[in-house]
């Protein structure tokens, strides 16, 4: 009888302590409030980028010289630029450019960094050569190197993505290499090598899974820096063509009229700030969730 009562008590306590999906969601929000805020902000930006055509009936390329540099008014809630183009419409469509640039930069940097990091960390003969190349790239100021690459290849969004992705490759490569140097000495790697597994299988099946969490963290921050980098290059006049709807292009043209029309900078500047902030918040949350030193169990 006593055993039956104890079992019933344990089962009852287990049911009482179970968390509903809603409660678990609340616990996650309490655990990672910055990450939830970042995801919410990024979701808004994604929504704007995907449905820009439904959020405004104006074209970002439509020119109206008569209403150039008009202040906010009905029909133009955030005014018009020096060509009479609607700032609100250009900012909405500019979200596509910024997110595409950031995502492309992250993909280029991660793919290149993972390949070079795995090769340098696993093959001792390649380590010195590849790392000296990475050091040479990192020796140049990033923005100066990106300007040089875009100037040599020509102004376009594709070239901006290639240039910015190239300057971030060494960062990822060095992080991946440091992990591979430690993992390649583990017993399970030696066992796989003894059983005749190929180097490609060992790298992809046994080595890289130990580095993916760090790569994911780096990817979120590089995404944010890619968005900011594209805006910087566009602001300096070496990004996509001037007529291309881009937050950097809008801010670059607006700086010439900051006294006559200060409202031109408000919306694109706010959008750029919130986007970079959201990605950094997500990156911090991903780092906290994947770092075993700071991770705590969420009930």
Asked if 180 and 121 count as a contact pair (C-beta separation under 8 A), the reply is: yes
Predicted pLDDT of residue 203: 81
Q: Per this entry, what is the length of the chain?
A: 299
Q: Is the pLDDT of residue 15 over 50?
A: no
Which tokens hold the place of 56? 């405004």
Average pLDDT, the chain: 83
Rounded CA gap, 56 and 230, in Å?
24
Rounded CA gap, 43 and 273, in Å?
15
Predicted pLDDT of residue 11: 45
Predicted pLDDT of residue 298: 44
- The per-residue pLDDT for range 241-289, each reduced to its tens digit, is 877 888 988 898 888 888 888 888 899 999 999 999 999 998 888 887 7
Which tokens hold the place of 73? 């008014």
Q: Residues with Cβ < 8 Å from 264, sequence gap 6 or more?
A: 79, 81, 87, 250, 253, 254, 257, 258
Asked if 97 and 246 count as a contact pair (C-beta separation under 8 A), the reply is: yes
Predicted pLDDT of residue 65: 83
Q: Is the pLDDT of residue 89 over 60?
A: yes
Q: How confident is the model at residue 297 (pLDDT cuts 50, 70, 90)?
A: very low
Predicted pLDDT of residue 17: 46
Predicted pLDDT of residue 291: 65
Predicted pLDDT of residue 76: 85
- The per-residue pLDDT for range 121-171, each reduced to its tens digit, is 888 888 889 899 898 888 888 888 888 888 888 888 889 999 999 999 999
Q: Is the pLDDT of residue 80 over 50?
A: yes
Half-sphere exposure of 235 (CA within 13 A, CB side): 17
Q: Residues with Cβ < 8 Å from 5, sequence gap 6 or more?
A: none
Half-sphere exposure of 203 (CA within 13 A, CB side): 16
Predicted pLDDT of residue 19: 54
Which tokens hold the place of 238? 């070496």
Q: How confident is the model at residue 208 (pLDDT cuts 50, 70, 90)?
A: confident
Rounded CA gap, 90 and 269, in Å?
12
């Amino acid at each position: 009888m006593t055993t039956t009562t104890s079992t019933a008590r344990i089962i009852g306590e287990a049911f009482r302590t179970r968390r509903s999906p809603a409660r678990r969601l609340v616990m996650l929000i309490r655990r990672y409030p910055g990450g939830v805020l970042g995801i919410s902000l990024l979701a808004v930006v994604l929504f704007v980028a995907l449905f820009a055509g439904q959020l405004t009936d104006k074209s970002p390329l439509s020119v109206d010289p008569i209403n150039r540099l008009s202040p906010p008014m009905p029909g133009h809630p955030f005014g018009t630029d020096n060509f009479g183009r609607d700032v609100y419409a250009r900012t909405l469509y500019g979200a596509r450019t910024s997110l595409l640039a950031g995502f492309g930069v992250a993909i280029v940097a991660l793919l290149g960094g993972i390949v070079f990091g795995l090769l340098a960390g696993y093959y001792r003969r390649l380590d010195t050569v590849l790392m000296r190349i990475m050091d040479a790239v990192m020796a140049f100021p990033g923005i100066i190197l990106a300007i040089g690459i875009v100037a040599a290849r020509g102004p376009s969004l594709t070239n901006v993505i290639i240039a910015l992705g190239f300057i971030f490759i060494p960062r990822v490569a060095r992080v991946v290499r440091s992990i591979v140097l430690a993992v390649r000495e583990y017993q399970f790697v030696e066992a796989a090598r003894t059983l005749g597994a190929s180097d490609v299988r060992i790298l992809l099946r046994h080595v890289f899974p130990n580095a993916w969490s760090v790569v994911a963290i780096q990817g979120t921050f590089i995404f944010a820096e890619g968005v900011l980098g594209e805006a910087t290059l566009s602001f300096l006049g070496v990004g996509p063509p001037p007529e291309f709807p881009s937050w950097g292009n809008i801010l670059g043209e607006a700086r010439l009229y900051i006294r006559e029309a200060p409202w031109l900078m408000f919306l694109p500047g706010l959008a750029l700030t919130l986007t970079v902030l959201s990605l950094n918040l997500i990156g911090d949350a991903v780092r906290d969730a994947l770092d075993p030193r700071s991770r705590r169990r969420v009930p």
